Amino acid sequence: MEKKQRLLGVLAAAMAFASLSGSASAATGEAMFADVPAGHWAYAAVAQLKADGLIKGMSVDRFDGNSVVTRYQMAQLVASALAHEQQASAADQAAIERLSHEFDDEIQAMETLAKRVDALEKHQKKTEDNFTLHGDFQQTLESHNHAGGDTKKSRWWAKELYLNVDTKLPKVMGDWKFRTQLETKFGTDQRINEEELIKQGYNGGHQYNELLKPNLAYFEGSLGKTQLWTRVGILQPWVQNGFVYAANLRGVMLEHYAKNYTWHAFGGLVDSDDNDLAVGAGAAYDEAAQGWKGEISQPWNDNVRAHESYYVLNNEATNWQPRLSRDGKTPLSEAEQAKILRNGGTGSDNAKGDLQDMFGSSLDTKKTVYGIAYDRMYSKRFTYSLGAYRYTSAAYNREPLYVGEATFDYKLMPKVIFRGTYAQGNQHGENSHSRGWMADLMWNCNPWMPADRAHAFGAYIGYHYLAPDAYIRCGYGDGIEKGQKGVEIGAYYNLTNNFQYTLKYGFGKSLTYTYSGQRQRDKLYSGFFWYF
């Protein structure tokens, strides 16, 4: 028992030293000991212990006999196997005992290293800063091409800065911390370096036009002994790859992590830029005719939810007062019109624009969301996720939008994943698009590739069907935009550590803008991203 405890201490120290000094562990520890010769019996013993599942929590790919390793590295594996000796068969126990005797001298020598690592850890804990700052800066370009209409081409240059601040709370609060994100956005449709500070509208009325605007602000930590990871405040839930919901939330989120599955649950008020949600359609004034156009339309904005097509009447039947009509002949009652205007009924989450201004209506822009998702790792190759969401907003006259979503990942090869996504909403009608789906083949990305490894490359190709009644705020839209369908391809390349270039292209059609010959859409998206 004493020897087992000593080996476990050495293993923990070796792993801790690696985490503290990175590659320094190889430079320090491995150089202290000679190599284990090729063909040594220890390789076969380790291979058998690996096959029997007795070496856990460590990479053993280099210990297959094809690469020479040091006695230092082999001693770490002995400690790992000894930690799981109770699960071993009689033959494996004999192999573990023989290995422990073979590398006993190395283990004794490593005890000195263990003491040094322990001192390092204590020093690090004393000097560790409770305040951290990190973030990213991005320069992007979006180039749109539309078939037909007055505006066939458009560009949008943008500069964005995000600063993330993490602060640990006092020890009496356990592992809780406070996290916040400050953002600044500049944009223009002219040319690069002419961007202006963007005025953002939130929830149909609140305007923000400032540097370093607070975007996120929440407390995060474990909830006592319940094994629930908790976030409270202005946060961003990120579940099921963000297809159905990728907006900020003023509320609470609970998560439970287990070995092969995870539960997520959240609820509160949606807190998002108006332009990130469904903007909807508004009545347009015809200058030539000096009157309101009849049918409500929304050219080039494809992110429009299911809505009724209204006409604006202003004739003898309406007492020469503007009144909404569904058929262009029969005016709605005042009560029904008031409900539609108050709640938005035109497919707009924020229910503002010419239509409401024309009637002088007060607007209910409150938006609430509740969601739950279950992630499961079925095998090393196959994972899936199931989710359900409830959303209320002005877009559906405050009748809830219920969405169910299913996603899966299947690893075809070590770096190649096929991802399928399907979402179904319950709002059905003449103008609804309630079934959304995606199919993506991804190489070395998921689909956003980390930027922390220099010269890494990733790419993907997929078909995206972003139906606006199948999501709340979709996290996709760089190539194929929300409210569109079509093929999207993309690539990522890390020019150096934490500096990434992204290029994406989408070619498809609008789902909601149905005028003949004017549905074609294509978009080029590119950007440089610096993470610090």
Three-state helix/strand/coil letters over 268-282: EEEECEHHHCCCCCE
Residue 8 reports pLDDT greater than 70:
no
- At residue 52, the pLDDT reads 76
Please confirm whether the linkage preceding 214 is cis (ω < 30° from 0).
Answer: no
Same domain, 390 and 441: yes
Note the residue count of the chain: 532
Distance CA 376, CA 372 (A): 14
Give the HSE-up count for residue 460: Cα atoms under 13 Å, Cβ half-sphere.
Answer: 25
* Per-residue tokens: 246: 């990728």
* Per-residue tokens: 518: 């004017």
Number of domains in the chain: 3
Cβ-based neighbour number of residue 334 at 10 Å: 10
Same domain, 250 and 387: yes
* Between residues 201 and 60, the one the model is more confident about: 201
Residue 1 reports pLDDT greater than 90:
no
Distance CA 348, CA 258 (A): 40
Q: Which of 169-178, 218-227, 454-463 has the highest mean pLDDT?
A: 454-463
- At residue 485, the pLDDT reads 97
- At residue 481, the pLDDT reads 94
Same domain, 272 and 377: yes
Residue 136 reports pLDDT greater than 60:
yes
Model confidence band, residue 208 (pLDDT cutoffs 50, 70, 90): low
Based on the number of CB atoms within 10 Å of its own CB, is 506 exposed (0-12), middle (13-18) or buried (19 or more)?
buried
Per-position DSSP letters for 277-338, written without gaps between them? S----B--EETTTTEE-SS-B-TT-----S----EEE-SGGGTTS-EEESSSSSBPPHHHHH
Last residue in a domain, options 312, 335, 359: 359
Same domain, 381 and 256: yes
- At residue 205, the pLDDT reads 53
Same domain, 84 and 226: no
* Between residues 175 and 26, the one the model is more confident about: 175
- At residue 26, the pLDDT reads 37
Per-position DSSP letters for 456-513, written without gaps between them? -EEEEEEEEE--TTS-SB-S--SSSPTTEEEEEEEEEEEEETTEEEEEEEEEEEESS-
Last residue in a domain, options 66, 99, 127: 127
Same domain, 394 and 515: yes
Contact call for residues 40 and 111 (beta carbons, < 8 A): no
Distance CA 26, CA 15 (A): 11
Same domain, 309 and 334: yes
Residue 284 reports pLDDT greater than 60:
no
- Average pLDDT on 440-457 reads 90
Contact call for residues 296 and 283 (beta carbons, < 8 A): yes
pLDDT digits (tens, 9 = 90+) for 340-378: 777 665 666 765 555 556 676 666 678 899 999 999 999
Distance CA 452, CA 286 (A): 54
* Between residues 212 and 64, the one the model is more confident about: 212
Distance CA 312, CA 324 (A): 5
Same domain, 342 and 373: no
Same domain, 331 and 428: no
- Average pLDDT on 255-272 reads 93
pLDDT digits (tens, 9 = 90+) for 285-314: 566 766 555 555 566 678 888 877 677 788
Domain of 443, CATH number, reads: 2.40.160.10
Give the HSE-up count for residue 502: Cα atoms under 13 Å, Cβ half-sphere.
Answer: 25
Q: What does DSSP assign to residue 237?
A: -
pLDDT digits (tens, 9 = 90+) for 471-525: 999 999 999 999 999 999 999 999 999 999 999 999 999 998 777 677 889 999 9
Q: Strands of 26-82 (E only): list them.
A: none
Last residue in a domain, options 61, 92, 127: 127
- At residue 211, the pLDDT reads 84
- At residue 296, the pLDDT reads 54
Same domain, 19 and 46: yes
Q: Left, alpha or beta for 227 (phi > 0: left; psi -120 to 50: alpha)?
A: left
Residue 105 reports pLDDT greater than 80:
no
Q: Which domain holds residue 57?
A: 2-127
* Per-residue tokens: 146: 């539309």
Percent residues over pLDDT 70 in the chain: 75
Distance CA 433, CA 425 (A): 8
* Between residues 240 and 286, the one the model is more confident about: 240
SS3 of residue 87 by DSSP: helix
Helix (H) or strand (E) holding 439: strand 435-443
Between CA 65 and CA 498, with CA 414 as vertex, the angle to 5 degrees is 100
Beta partners for residue 416, in sequence order: 413, 443
Cβ-based neighbour number of residue 291 at 10 Å: 12
pLDDT digits (tens, 9 = 90+) for 12-68: 545 444 443 333 333 344 444 567 777 778 777 777 777 777 776 555 555 554 567
Percent residues over pLDDT 90 in the chain: 42
Same domain, 512 and 412: yes
Distance CA 131, CA 150 (A): 52
- The candidate with the shortest Cα–Cα distance to 229, out of 166, 175, 190, is 175
Same domain, 93 and 155: no
Least confident of 101-115, 348-362, 398-412, 470-484: 348-362
